[in-house]
Structure 1
Amino acid sequence: MKDFFPVMKVAVLLLASILCGSGPACAVEEKQAPLPIALEADELVFDQKEGVYQAQGDVHLRRGEATLAADRMQFNEETGDAQAFGNVRLLDPEAVVSGEALTLNIDSDVGSVRNGRIFLPKPNFHVAGSEIEKLGKYQYRIADGTFTTCDGERPSWKFSARQLDVTVGGYAWARHVFFHIYDVPVLYLPVMGYPVKVERESGFLTPRFGLSDKRGTELSLVYYQVLDRHMDATFFLDYYSRLGVGKGVEYRYFLGHDNDGQAKLYHVSGLDGNSDQVALAWQHMGTLPGQIWLTADAQYVSSRRYFSDFGEVAGEYNRARAESVIAASRHWGNANLAGQFRYLRQLNEDDEELPVDDDLTLQRLPEVRFDILRRRFGYTPFYFRLDSSAAYLWKKQGEKVGRIGLRPEISAQFNPGGWLEIGASMGYLERVYAWDGEQEHKGVPDASLRLGTRLSRVYAVDGEVVRKLQHVLQPEIIYEYVPGVDQEDLPRLEFEDFIGRRNTVSYGLVNRLIARQESEQGQVDYHEYLYLRLAQEYDISRSDHSDLLAPQRDEAERWSALRTELVVRPTRHSYLDIDSRLATSGGGLATFHAEGGLEDGRGNGLALRYRYWRDEQEYLSANLDLAWLKPVYINYEQRYSLDSSVTLENVLNLEYRAQCWSLFLSWRDRRDEQEISFSFALTGIGKTSHPGSRLDETL
């Protein structure tokens, strides 16, 4: 029987919980013992009749995590009332309150401070006032007060208000507000709210102002709205004196785990005969139920003029088409199923979509692939893989063709002597086409053979940082063969619809230098200083893979361009990348791309890029970041066309970064437009960095 009553008690409590749920009427109050109070001072006198302590000299009254300190204090232990005078400080984890004199009830957290200040450490928020009322643990009311996020007795900026209500973790609401730069009032607001927390908060961002040759005077106003922990929305209102008024919304979401995305809608009302412009964009990536990976990058603009009017970076303002891709895939071990819808919308020079009878853009709606990655047959050196695809190819004006491709492959890997690598493969690509009631198929075999090895040697360096250096040499020779097959009966909608004859031998040689580095603490790290690859191909039979009747080539013409890839990393903060193709049969460089840069890890850096395509294009670009002039930060970009001797673009970004605010100035100069924009940010309030028209953001 002794165990009956405890079991009965648990049963009754459990039944009550089930019947009542979690409502307040059913809550069982558990009285907690009051926190102990500690009072320390140089001199301490207790009036037993009144129940009041009189304390003087370095007085500290502690209760839990809160401490009240002063030069002199009177404390009633029965009522919990405290009066403090001289160098008063009330400290807790959320705030620090200081002043000349303070009255406080430590039980209700209600009191007042004369000539007081409040400092909230997490948002670095400072409040001052002639009279501060403490209305609760996290609430204050200030008469004739000021607030700022700047440190110092004379802050760079501040707001002053006739009445100010502050909720820690919420907002500071003010009435009859003046904005001051130092002590000079420059702006009046009848009412305003300012966030007093570090979490995301809804509210207006600081505006952006600009001037542009195309758009005229620009003014961007942005409101940011938190919808919940996983969603938010940004509303844009932009004014362009030469184009109209832009309105837009950007919705961002995070659905848990790895699902996130954003969608944007933007509309510009035309002025002076300009037609309205509309843009839509959606980006998403994440895993759906059933382990299906979904990605989307869809875009629509009403005209090509949208890109030229609002594009801010190269590749955006000169775009002539809008592309939308939605893709899904699913993996099962070595098998992968993927499908996508890809739509290209071409826009002509007249700012309109191409007429239906002129649009020859090839669309793939839809396209599906099923692949089995290379799988080994037991413990043998033989492997199998399968590549397959199905697509519906069509043009608004032109053919509409269904295409199925199937390519199985058998390969083998051998390692005789432990140093020689031999790889061989044989495949067969079968394609089936169907169009206008007709059907045709064709198969093309292929084979390849690879010989390679890996040689390495380690050198003892025994430097202060680099202890060992490894040199790796990887030569390889590859033979590829595809017989000539008559494919004249097959449709040709794109390059891959014709598979030309191939009978080539190629070589490659890779050099790598890898250092083993050890820190003073004994931590080991590896750094690749150099990667150099040389590759070239020799055509045994014909010169033109797209024409079976092409004549034989001269011996020198059978060699392809010599490709050189060089990657140099002298330090963690410097690099040089080169990719070139040199025509060994004459003609010099076919392409040459080089990029190099260095940075010091403190905001200073320089990057140079050179691009050359023979008979097509040659240009140079530079990017410079400077933090030497702190608090002024400089970013400069330039693109220069060497073949036409003209500057394509100049961009200068300046930021003056103070302790509690930043000022931004941007200047952009393109061949057909100049633009200058200005914005600023106060700590605690984000800035409007760009108008709502921009579509080139990525997840």
Structure 2
Amino acid sequence: MDFSKRSLRGYALFISITLFAVNSELLVGQELASSLPPDGVGQSSSSLAPDGDGQLPYPAAVVVPGKNQGTPVKIESTNPQTRVGSLYTLDKDVVITYGDRIIKADHVEYDSDTGEVRAAGHLEVTGGENLEYIRASRGEFNVQTQTGRFYDVMGSVGLPKGSANRPATGPVAGPMPGSRQVYDNGNPFLFSGRIVIKRGPAAYDVIDGSVTSCQLAKPDWVLDAALFSIDGPKAKAKNSVFRLLNVPLLYLPYVTHPVDPQARQSGLLIPTLGYSGGHKGFVLGEEIYVVLGRSMDLTFGSTYYSERGFAENGTFRYRGLGQNFVTARFSALQDRGFTPTGGVYTNQGGQDMVLKARYDVAPRSSAQTRLVADAEYLSSYIYREAFTENFNQAVTTDILSTLYAVRNADGYSASFRADRYQGLKPAPQTAAQAAAGDAIQNSQVTIFHIPALALTTTDHVLGGGAASHVIWNLDTSIGGLKRTQPAFTTSGVGRVDIHPEVAVPFTLGGLHLRPSLAVRETAYTRSRLTPFVPGTTPVETAGGYARTDLEAGMEIRPAVLERTFDTPFTQRVFGGQVKHTIEPEASYRFVTGINNFGGVLRFDDNDVVSNTNQLEYGVTQRLFLKSSHLATKVRACKATETPDAVDDNLPDDDPNGKPASETRRCNSREFFSWRLAQRVYFDDSFGGAVANGRRNILESTLSFSGIAFLTQPRSTSPLISRIRVRPSERLDFEWDFDYDTKQGKFTTSNIFTDVHQGNIFAGFSYAGLSAPGRFDTNGTQNSTTEFSQMRVLAGYGMPTKAGLSVAANAGIDLNLGSFQYASVETSYNWNCCGFSAEYRKYQLGSVRNEPAYKFNFTLANIGTAGNLRRAERLF
């Protein structure tokens, strides 16, 4: 058990403040003012008469400059200030102010020849960079040697004025009026000591001391020791006792802690202990934390499952300048396996390694060059499904690992990329194949892009002239490809893709038009044998394949229709004005020249481009609210023409640099939007690319809804709808669906809502899918994938709330009528410690049927004991 570096630093700050400030500001200032002040400066005529031989009178309050002409020192006392030789004496209500620091005492004596200072009676130090509040009954020290002794010391570091934890008067500190603070908000430590001995500039001994983060005078916990020693950056204590609710619980023969608040110290972390059902048993874990430098650290450890064996884990972290960082995680299980009742031996061991990194080259230059790694290696999906604590990760079957370098400058982007896709995709299998190995292993698909060079551009004016109305852009790439799936593996395939486009945008009678013309040339070093029978294994041929297509398009955007409603009804219901906008849009696209669609091997969306002759039309309606209480903010925005934005600009673990900011319109807010769109296909077979009786994946479906709907030639797509509602800052609602007008059913329907009001929060989501499947159980194509799941979340409280908090969530498979997972968590926080307990249930078929019990006990600024990690909590 260690104690707070802040508290020990508080001792150092207290002594340092008193020594340095009194010496360099206060006392030198007194020497500068050793002569009588001029008439009329802070004195009366009666104060000029000496009281005795050798005594010179001084005013009750005087401001003198410091030796370095810096911050002036103000000395105040009720009684007159006197000097006898080199000895200065101040009595009654002595207050010394310099900058934001204040020293108070009843009596102060200073010998300017020896540097000795004696202070007695309610000695108190407040203020400073870390908001020190330190009190002692008396003290004596030498400002020249920086040594001394202080008695009956107590105080705090980091608490603002008037805080609930600030010590009150009397021998025992007590709570002052103020808001109650709880353990999870970074409370500083409060401390006390019978004697504090200063042995040098950075060496101290605290005798009979205690440290806590709790409200005084009845702290929930304290750490007592006969001697706390501070030598430079490290503090240590021997024979310390940890007390909880005044009950001694733990004896610690030796503890250490860094004094510098920016420093970290290597050591053992608090062990984790718990129990988990589902063939895991009792869980015991321990980790070691190693500091590798100011910006790097390493955590590694092991967890023992009584019924399964040992699991290893490790995390490396590095934070550099700007957005630069490296995070690497590793976990593994050496599973000894289990045999369920009436079942067969099962081994769920595996390894999972994750690397995320980013490095910006010359981030201040106009050109942006970034190196990125976002990679994961998973040896077994069953391992992650059975042992991860995150449900979404447990059911995720897609892993994309990417390494790339990109340079952006003047609208040009050049990149070098290598990636690996790993996923579970059901594939037809013969009986022999199914019996030969793991069904999961037999359905894995792996796709490589190694390497890939790409050059893309934004729109550029042709010829560079401002008068030109012709713009152009380019999308080109060259790379190596490989695909592995059950019973089929390609050779290394090279691909070159060049896709230039020119456009002439213009406005005609309120219509914004963008006609465009493009050509695409794609060449492969390998191809697929055609014709082929759907459902059979593809056959690769050594012959190359080249395709050239011609693309023409027209985007049409009419003028936006809008109307503002400002009536008593809108004022009463919406609290202000309501603006309604209607944004129609249409686009036409024609592609020709792809006459052998089946001859292309499949690696990504570039390989599913087909002939098409299509028209997309849609309309988006929006409602904007301008509330009356936003009037002041609106006027300010109009004056500056700067939107209100929040951007912490802090790095995170997203190496691709996705923004963590949210920008809001300052003149109004959108509280409702609804987009409807559909496509009409004049070529219902897409140049012969559509095969009857199977699911067809084409670029036209991927770019529209993401849900496959082509099982035969058809002239219309499903109707897509995207509804967003945000009536207030406390309520969000969203409903996205695809409705197949040909079949008369919803192919997908997703509903999400979130409510939060004060300490109460709730969430609900529903996801439904009824779309063409890849294969059914016997490998026959044209099956239907039915998916219907619901998620619920409700709770009261938050991690920093004092008192009781409770939350629960669940995932329900409506098709099966069963829970996939459910959990209930409750916690109770005192002012400096808290306890949380959770029951969690996973029910993921034969792989995982596990009840788990988790808990933790947290002490402010000390640590957490238990197996309920912060990332797994519901709050």
Same fold (TM over 0.5): yes
Partner of 2:392: 315
Q: Matches of 1:285 and 1:352 in 2, distance apart?
A: 39
Once residues 321 and 759 of structure 2 are traced to their aligned partners in structure 1, the CA distance between those partners, rounded to angstroms, is 34
Q: Which residue of 1 aligns with 2:192?
A: 128
2:632 is the alignment partner of 1:504 = no
Give the 3-state SS of the residue equivalent to 1:308 in structure 2: helix
Report what 1:48 is aligned to.
Answer: 84
Q: Could you tell me which residue of structure 1 aligns to residue 459 of structure 2? A: 374
The correspondence for 1:609, drawn from 733, 745, 765, is: 765
Q: CA deviation at 1:567?
A: 0.9
Q: Which residue of 1 aligns with 2:857?
A: 680
Alignment of 1:558-597 (within 5 A): 558-597=715-754
Partner deviation per Cα, 1:599-631 (whole Å, 9 max, x = no partner):
23x453222111110251011112234228743
Q: 1:57 aligns with which of 89, 92, 103?
A: 92
| Range with greater deviation from structure 2 (86-95 or 340-349) | 340-349
SS of the counterpart of 2:550? strand
- Structure 1 residues 603 and 337: alpha-carbon distance in aligned structure 2, compared to 1, 3 A threshold: farther
Query: Cα distance, 1:291 vs. partner?
Result: 4.0
Relative to its length, the structure with more strand (as a share) is 1
Contact 2:681 2:715 in 1 (8 A): yes
CA distance in 1, matches of 2:865, 2:592: 60
1:517-536 deviations in Å (ceiling 9; x for gaps) = 46478211220121111111
Q: Is the 8 A contact 2:424 2:440 kept in 1?
A: no
Report deviation, 1:592: 0.7
1:205·1:685 contact (CA, 8 Å) conserved in 2? no
User: Which of 235, 248, 256 does residue 300 from structure 2 map onto?
Assistant: 235
Per-residue deviation, 1:689: 8.6
Q: Quote the residue 1:265 is aligned against.
A: 330
Q: Residue 407 of structure 2 aligns with which residue?
A: 330
Any residues of structure 2 matched to 1:502-581 within 5 Å, and which?
502-517=612-627, 519=629, 522-524=632-634, 525=666, 526-542=668-684, 547=689, 558-581=715-738
Q: Is the contact between residue 202 and residue 223 of structure 1 (CA under 8 Å) also seen in structure 2?
A: no
Alignment of 1:211-290 (within 5 A): 211-213=275-277, 214-271=279-336, 277-288=350-361
Change (3 A) 1:114 1:454: same
Instruction: Note closer, same or farther for the CA distance 1:351–1:269 as it changes in structure 2 (3 Å cut).
Output: farther
Match in the other structure for 1:36: 29
Of the candidates 558, 569, 580, which is equivalent to residue 453 of structure 1?
558
Counterparts of residues 621-636 of structure 1 (less than 5 Å) = 621-627=791-797, 630-636=802-808
Please give the per-residue CA displacement for 1:392-418, whole angstroms capped at 9, x wherever unaligned. 22235422222222222222222112x
Cα offset, 1:67, TM superposition: 5.0
Distance between the aligned counterparts of 2:442 and 2:731, measured in 1? 53
1:413 is matched with which residue: 488, 505, 523? Answer: 505
Stretch deviating more after TM superposition (324-333 or 371-380): 371-380
Do the aligned residues in 1 keep the contact of 2:283 with 2:306 (CA within 8 Å)?
yes
Alpha-carbon distance change, 578 to 374 in structure 1, aligned in 2, over 3 angstroms: same
**Closer/same/farther in 2, CA of residues 399 and 276 from structure 1, 3 Å limit:** closer
Q: Which moved more, 1:130-139 or 1:439-448?
A: 130-139
1:20: which partner in 2? none
Please tell me the residue identity of whatever aligns with 1:413: P
- The yes-or-no answer on 1:651 pairing with 2:823 is yes
Deviation at 1:190, TM superposition (A): 0.7
Task: Give 3-state SS (helix, strand or coil) of 1:593's partner.
Answer: strand
Q: One-letter code of the match for 2:736? A: D
Deviations 1:213-247 (A, max 9, x none): 24332233334344333322223343332333344
Give distance in 2, aligned partners of 1:174 and 1:127.
14
TM-score (norm 2): 0.68
C-alpha distance in structure 1 between counterparts of 2:787 and 2:631, whole Å: 50
Cα distance in 2 for partners of 1:677, 1:406 equals 55
Q: Secondary structure at the match of 1:497?
A: helix
Residues 29-61 of structure 1 deviation map (CA, whole Å, 9 limit, x = unaligned): xx9897425764434585737x54555432346
Instruction: Tell me, yes or no, if the aligned pair for 1:441 and 1:490 is still in contact at 8 Å.
Output: no
**Which residue number in structure 2 is paired with residue 3 of structure 1?**
none
3-state SS in 2 of match to 1:684: coil
CA contact (8 A) 1:500 1:548 kept: no
Counterpart mapping for 1:103-252 below 5 A: 103-121=140-158, 124-136=188-200, 139-166=203-230, 170-196=233-259, 198-203=261-266, 204-213=268-277, 214-252=279-317
The one-letter code sitting in structure 2 at the alignment partner of 1:513 is: L
Asked whether the 8 Å contact 1:346–1:354 carries over to 2, the reply is no
CA offset at residue 167 of structure 1?
6.7
Q: Secondary structure at the match of 1:361?
A: strand
Deviates more, 1:54-63 or 1:244-253: 54-63
Taking the aligned partners of 1:691 and 1:200, their CA distance within structure 2 comes to 26
Please state which structure has a larger fraction of its residues in helix: 2
Contact kept? 1:653, 1:665, Cα under 8 Å: yes
Q: Residues of 2 paired with 1:134 and 1:621: CA distance?
A: 61
Cα shift at 1:420: 1.1
More off after superposition, 71-80 vs 57-66: 57-66
Aligned residue in 2 for 1:70? 105
Q: Take 2:83 and 2:437, find their aligned partners in 1: how far apart are those partners?
A: 91
The offset of 1:330, in angstroms, is 1.8
Q: Quote the Cα distance in structure 1 between the aligned partners of 2:862 and 2:220.
A: 15
* 1:346-402 deviations in Å (ceiling 9; x for gaps): 689999999999975332222332223322334343322222222322235422222
Percent of residue pairs bearing the same amino acid type: 20
What are the equivalent positions in structure 2 for 1:395-474 lying under 5 Å apart?
Answer: 395-396=483-484, 397-400=488-491, 401-417=493-509, 419-435=510-526, 438-459=543-564, 461=566, 463=571, 468-474=577-583
Q: Does 1:98 align with 2:135?
A: yes
Q: Residue 359 of structure 2 contacts residue 371 of structure 2 at CA under 8 Å; is this kept in 1?
A: yes
Q: How many residues align?
A: 659
Structure 1: gaps (5+ residues): 1-30
Of 475, 480, 486 in structure 2, the residue corresponding to residue 387 of structure 1 is 475
Deviation at 1:134, TM superposition (A): 3.2
TM-score, normalising length: structure 1: 0.83
Decide whether aligned partners of structure 1 residues 493 and 391 sit closer, same or farther in structure 2, where only a CA change above 3 A counts.
same
- Sort the Cα spacing of 1:57 and 1:537 in 2 relative to 1 into closer, same or farther, 3 A: same
Quickly say closer, same or farther: Cα 1:56–1:282, change in 2 above 3 A: same
Select 1:298's aligned residue among 358, 363, 375: 375
2:856·2:868 contact (CA, 8 Å) conserved in 1?
no
Q: Per-residue displacement from partner, 1:127-153 (whole Å, max 9, x unpaired)?
A: 222322233465532222211122211
In the alignment, the residues of structure 2 paired with residue 549 and residue 262 of structure 1 have an alpha-carbon distance, to the nearest angstrom, of 46
Is this contact kept in 1: 2:589–2:613, CA < 8 A? yes
Gap regions ≥5 residues in structure 2: 1-22, 31-73, 160-186, 339-346, 426-433, 527-540, 635-665, 694-709, 771-784, 844-848
Please give the root-mean-square deviation of Cα atoms over the aligned residues, in Å. 3.8
* 2:797–2:805 Cα contact (<8 Å) kept: yes
> 1:649 touches 1:670 (CA, 8 Å); kept in 2?
yes
Q: 1:208·1:678 contact (CA, 8 Å) conserved in 2?
A: no
CA contact (8 A) 1:177 1:188 kept: yes
